[in-house]
Amino acid sequence: MTTRWRVPCALSLLSPAAALLLAWLPLACQSSSQPRSAPAPGYPAQGQYPPGQYPPQYSQPYPQQQPYPQQPHLQQPHPQQQPYPQQPQPYPQQPYPQQPYPQQPQPPPVQPSVPQPAPALPSVTSDPINDVNLVWLRQQAQTILAELVAALPADSRARVQGIPLAVDDTVGEVNAFAACSSGRSLMAITDGLLEIMAGLASAAASDEVFGGNKTDEYIRFIATNLQPKQAIPRSSGLLSPSVLTDGRKVQRQHVLFQEEVAFVLGHELAHHYLGHLPCTGQPGLLGSGDLLRTLSNNVPLFNQPNESAADLAGTSNVLDAGARRSTRWTEHGGLLTMRFFQGLEGGFNLLLAFQHSHPSPRVRIPLIQQSANYWRSSGGRGIPVPRIGG
């Protein structure tokens, strides 16, 4: 009796694969109880399927999926970016013209232009400055003083009209001063100072005409060789004969000498009309040589405010007097004189009487320049300087 497996509705609860398996089990059991039959012709024995083949129900292999057709990847070149358009070239830079900032009008320069000597003049074989003719030098000093007095304003001129100029002939004395004698005013200058100013004018004129630095050579020569109470040394070999007698140089040295003497006398004259001395307004007679030497030894030590005032007023007086001349005077002679005394301060053991009675050139040079600059910028008016005693 064949046992039939009944699989009620539970089969319907199984998955298809499980249901197929349960349905196959009765058949397998049934076949196992019956003798094996020979395989059908053309089929191999059970369990002897050739390798790679399947039972009849699975004889057809599962169709293989065709590979997904590969689309050929077209390697398109990446479009190249066009270069970024360059900015136009910068506008060519033109150098900006550097215009100087407009300057405010300045007053005329302090230093005057040095007049150039004539291009050609005959040689001068005999000249009182080259020959150091003391008589002529003294006469020049008197003439220059008269011109200075004549150029003063009326009130100042009245105070010094007729003031005498004495010459101190003491050997080796280098000085100039204003003084009083018995209540009378006078002025004095030494032969030694006149002689040195003549030598300075000759050396400076040579420098202007021919170049070089004979001025400083002359200053060093005097500082090295001048001895107390000895005659002023002569620098005979400083200039060659052709330079010494050159007409242009001789012409120029006369102007420089006049400017030097004018500055020195203008300074001393200012002490009188500015009221720095008690005898102002009382011109006196010339004293003897002994009296002048006594006065020069007793000149009071310089008073700085008075000395500064005399430099300012004296420089203006020189420029006023020079404006009346065909060959004008400038402050150049005063600066040349200060250059000499400043040179003596350069380590030489020489102290002249002039240095005892006057301030250092380092103080006086700026005052001279200031006064001259003011005179030019104001159209010929000097710096107002107060007068002592009204």
Q: Are strands 165-168 and 184-190 parallel, antiparallel or unpaired?
A: parallel
Which tens digit of pLDDT belongs to each residue from 309-341? 999 999 999 999 999 999 999 999 999 999 999
Of 219, 256, 263, which is closest to residue 367 (Cα–Cα)? Answer: 263
Of 383, 189, 385, which is closest to residue 306 (Cα–Cα)? Answer: 385
| Cα–Cα distance measured from residue 361 to residue 308, given in angstroms and rounded to the nearest whole number | 11
Domain limits, the chain: 134-377
Which tens digit of pLDDT belongs to each residue from 218-251? 999 999 998 888 999 998 889 999 999 999 999 9
Written as one string, the DSSP assignment of 227-287 is: -TTSPPPP-TTSS-HHHHT-HHHHHHHHHHHHHHHHHHHHHHHHHHHTT-STTTT-B-PPP
184-190 sheet: strands from edge to edge: 165-168, 184-190, 176-181
Q: Which stretches of the chain drop beneath a pLDDT of 70? A: 1-119, 280-302, 346-353, 355-357, 389-390
N residues, the chain: 390
Residue 181's alpha-carbon distances to 120, 175, 268, 291, 313, in angstroms, are 49, 18, 15, 8, 24
